[in-house]
Structure 1
């Protein structure tokens, strides 16, 4: 590997440790500039992160084993202990002996992949009565469809009496297809789009033209939240003055009972836009509140899990209407937004790298 001709799939060890962008050449630009030793891992692939859910599943297995040992210890006779040991299947709770690393042997990449997949099989995405889907992690009692059905959870089942549409909101501007709203949307995408990568511009514009209320990429609160930011980009004082009204409209809809009851991707996007708007206006606590709600709704939707790792046929009634790249963009856009808010406000982060297994998103066009 001489010169800069070799291109690696991952960053070098030094850049990873310093959390800076690496040129992925040998030696990389950063190491060459600092005259530091440049090293790459032998396995030139990104190691999937170990999520907190996987750690929780391991803790659950350990707790199960401890309970079993306590029951064996409390058994009054040796015959009962032998019977308990004969009927227990350790493969239900523990990894096989072959998968446990021995002294001097580190687990290979395939071991990590297998462990991560085992944890994912205990999680599920289940359809709600309103047509949305909610995520249940491996430790959730609702991750088992039979348990969920038996509990008669309000998140499950279907009902023709429930509407899947968002509440119609009419304000002083009337229709969502009026020139003022279209102008503010244009200003947003012209000046601010690069800072809001969790919004898919092409999909949003297409659905805005067709159905700006009930779509997967466009909704009333998202339109108003985008307009609130876009209006601030106008040199016209009258247009800028509409920003407050747009923001109030978006927040009124988002804080309504129906919107909070049903998790939606567009709600995550609209709440993050409102968070940026409020922080920019100096309302730091209000912006922090909106961002926190957005991340929680996103996790409720399971956006921290990469769709490529799901068994769609067994986990979902029907595939999502938007592609995997869109969900990755929402996650990473939210991830970066969380870091921006946390650094700017000096507060702890909501989202952690080890909580997710989302692949890197493609750069914005």
Structure 2
């Protein structure tokens, strides 16, 4: 470098900051240059090293990468639309970023709900569904091709760039502190609940009636989906916090009223279907006056989901669909579908967010099954952790709620005859979340518009493996003998545990029945008899589990979800009874018991009358007679062996190993019914959308 060039560079480096910004010559005098003295500025010199220039290797690498991208884009433009997704998925897997490549922009900043989020990176957690072998995320919803054939991408860009699994693990010590803090808060909140009795009323409801309905809710409905996080809600009722509202209170009261025996909850003392009418009307009034459907909040979401489930149970499917739909869209609007990193400061809020999201996820899938309509929360959007950290309700000793206003003799009888069992509420709910992730896949592969027999049959084994893995990986405290209704550890199963297993067996039928001859997928080839055998075994277990529930706890306070399992089982029992051609088998007995259970469920859940009507019409078409008048009265001994009761003896004759499976070659050779007869019956007793006909408003 020449001396002249060196002097110019040194001069430029000696310029003060004021002269640099103004881009004027600096005389570099110390302590202040002439320009700073003239303008009254502080003269500051910063000696910085020159920035390193890119090497030739870096430039060549960038040029080569640019050329590869141009070639790849050209290939995309020339590819057919059906090949675009596959090409992009392949590139996303090859160029998957490592943990060290992550940048702060990979995380979405907090906006509507407090707490830091990981929108497309769910936490590491042990799942029993083999997620490590899960297929690559479907990015097709984020792609579209315009009229000129140009590829466009919309939605979160990270859906195409990053994996959906996060390899970061939480500090076990910090997590233990969070869990201990949540347990302490839950215990303190439970101790303070008695302060409610110091109030005279809650939104006009006498405090004695309000506490009565709360006790019913926490004792039964709450343990189905854990939608209502008790410590936060009860705390905010006393403190007028943001997680409680008049709307949520009345929604809880309305939904719990159907299980109350008090006349205070009835509009018409002689009509049980009027239970909770005042609370339903109050909810409608608050939705209108407070504009709740346009102002999303956690209490509104929970209240709408509770009401949607109850309206389904009452047979008001149109209102249930609309209110649940509002709640599901609010879930996305407030950001509950995004994972929240838990800390000691936000632990209670994050625990509530997780429970509400997964409760909404399950309600969404049940609504889809009941009405045969699309789901709102796709499986690819379910990145929220289902690791719940508040274990307060996990090891609680559970006993049915007994109204203190009942006569003393009746209350004493209830306490003496009902077992006290561990509820395992948290673990049971976690397993229900995992089960409904498989339900979402079954709906997508077997029941949505456009589902084909070939695609469904190809995914049958994968779905079957997931269900078997779910069942075999259940903790010992959740494994139940369907004949006796007891846990393998010897304890009596709690209600939520019996419901879990009834639902699991209904899902087995949901998976296998579409592929049998006459199913809506219309398989042309002969389906192995094992599919129908699986359906028959599952139907038998559903009936036995329901009888156990009836014997131990009474169906008068059972949720509507049991009725779906019984309805699904009845569709199998009817066909098995018809296939027996009048022989003395246990199928007709199991059918009669299932219908009896459905009849008892219809008392608190009037909507159950619709599936009962469907089954009775199917029986008439198949010429199956009801033998309800010959049924032995059944009460399952809690400590007896499975063979010590009459229903077990009768059911022994219904084992599918000695029964000619419907639709098998052996059975169809002598059957009087044609394939068309079975197809017509399947159209009458669909599993997906069996309640949809009630809400049609068009001529």
Query: What TM-score do you get using the length of structure 2 for normalisation?
Result: 0.28
- The answer to whether residue 215 in structure 2 is matched with residue 186 in structure 1 is yes
Aligned to 2:94: 101
Aligned to 1:33: none
Question: For the Cα contact (< 8 Å) 2:228–2:302, is it kept in 1?
Answer: yes
In 1, the alpha carbon distance for the partners of 2:106 and 2:205 equals 42
Cα deviations across residues 13-64 of structure 1 (Å, max 9, x unaligned)? xxxxxxxxxxxxxxxxxxxxxxxxxxxxxxxxxxxxxxxxxxxxxxxxxxxx
In 2, the alpha carbon distance for the partners of 1:100 and 1:291 equals 37
Question: For the Cα contact (< 8 Å) 2:112–2:335, is it kept in 1?
Answer: no
In 2, the alpha carbon distance for the partners of 1:266 and 1:114 equals 40
Change (3 A) 1:206 1:284: same
In 1, the alpha carbon distance for the partners of 2:100 and 2:338 equals 16
In 2, the alpha carbon distance for the partners of 1:119 and 1:282 equals 49
Shift of 1:176: 5.2
Partner SS, residue 336 of structure 1: helix
Question: For the Cα contact (< 8 Å) 2:252–2:303, is it kept in 1?
Answer: yes
Question: For the Cα contact (< 8 Å) 1:305–1:357, is it kept in 2?
Answer: yes
Shift of 1:122: 6.8
Structure 1: runs of 5 or more not aligned? 1-64, 71-93, 141-171, 313-318
Change (3 A) 1:215 1:354: same
Question: For the Cα contact (< 8 Å) 1:325–1:361, is it kept in 2?
Answer: no
Shift of 1:216: 3.2
Change (3 A) 1:118 1:261: farther
- The answer to whether residue 260 in structure 2 is matched with residue 260 in structure 1 is no
Greater helix share, structure number: 2
Cα deviations across residues 281-304 of structure 1 (Å, max 9, x unaligned)? 111011010111001111111101
- The answer to whether residue 303 in structure 2 is matched with residue 288 in structure 1 is no
In 1, the alpha carbon distance for the partners of 2:322 and 2:361 equals 16
- The answer to whether residue 304 in structure 2 is matched with residue 271 in structure 1 is yes
Aligned to 2:232: 203
Count of aligned positions: 224
Change (3 A) 1:114 1:274: farther
Aligned to 1:323: 349
Shift of 1:338: 0.8
In 2, the alpha carbon distance for the partners of 1:183 and 1:227 equals 9
Cα deviations across residues 113-137 of structure 1 (Å, max 9, x unaligned)? 789x779737444259xx9xxxx99
Query: Greater RCO between the two (CA within 8 Å, min separation 6)?
Result: 1
Cα deviations across residues 334-358 of structure 1 (Å, max 9, x unaligned)? 1111111111222211111101311
After superposition, residues 314-353 of structure 1 pair within 5 angstroms as 322-353=348-379
In 1, the alpha carbon distance for the partners of 2:208 and 2:291 equals 29
In 2, the alpha carbon distance for the partners of 1:226 and 1:266 equals 11
Aligned to 1:222: 248
Q: Which of these residues, 259, 274, 280, is aligned with residue 247 of structure 1?
A: 280
Cα deviations across residues 187-226 of structure 1 (Å, max 9, x unaligned)? 2222211124111123222322x13xx4233211110000
Shift of 1:361: 3.4
Question: For the Cα contact (< 8 Å) 1:295–1:350, is it kept in 2?
Answer: yes
Aligned to 1:299: 332
In 1, the alpha carbon distance for the partners of 2:309 and 2:105 equals 33
After superposition, residues 1-365 of structure 1 pair within 5 angstroms as 101=94, 111=98, 121=106, 123-126=108-111, 139=155, 175=204, 178-208=207-237, 210-211=238-239, 214-241=240-267, 243-256=276-289, 258-308=291-341, 322-362=348-388, 364-365=425-426
In 2, the alpha carbon distance for the partners of 1:296 and 1:238 equals 35
Shift of 1:276: 1.2
Change (3 A) 1:261 1:114: farther
Change (3 A) 1:203 1:100: closer
Change (3 A) 1:257 1:231: closer
Question: For the Cα contact (< 8 Å) 1:234–1:240, is it kept in 2?
Answer: no
Question: For the Cα contact (< 8 Å) 1:342–1:348, is it kept in 2?
Answer: yes
Shift of 1:250: 1.6
Aligned to 1:34: none
In 2, the alpha carbon distance for the partners of 1:351 and 1:114 equals 31
In 1, the alpha carbon distance for the partners of 2:100 and 2:363 equals 31
In 1, the alpha carbon distance for the partners of 2:93 and 2:225 equals 43
In 2, the alpha carbon distance for the partners of 1:114 and 1:342 equals 41
Partner SS, residue 235 of structure 1: coil
Runs of 4+ in 1 over 6 A off after TM superposition: 117-120
Task: From the CA coordinates, give the structure whose radius of gyration is larger.
Answer: 2
Shift of 1:100: 6.2
In 2, the alpha carbon distance for the partners of 1:114 and 1:300 equals 32
Partner SS, residue 259 of structure 2: coil
Query: What TM-score do you get using the length of structure 1 for normalisation?
Result: 0.51
Aligned CA-pair RMSD:
4.3
In 2, the alpha carbon distance for the partners of 1:205 and 1:246 equals 19
Question: For the Cα contact (< 8 Å) 1:254–1:267, is it kept in 2?
Answer: no
Cα deviations across residues 246-289 of structure 1 (Å, max 9, x unaligned)? 01212321344542333211110000011012111111011010
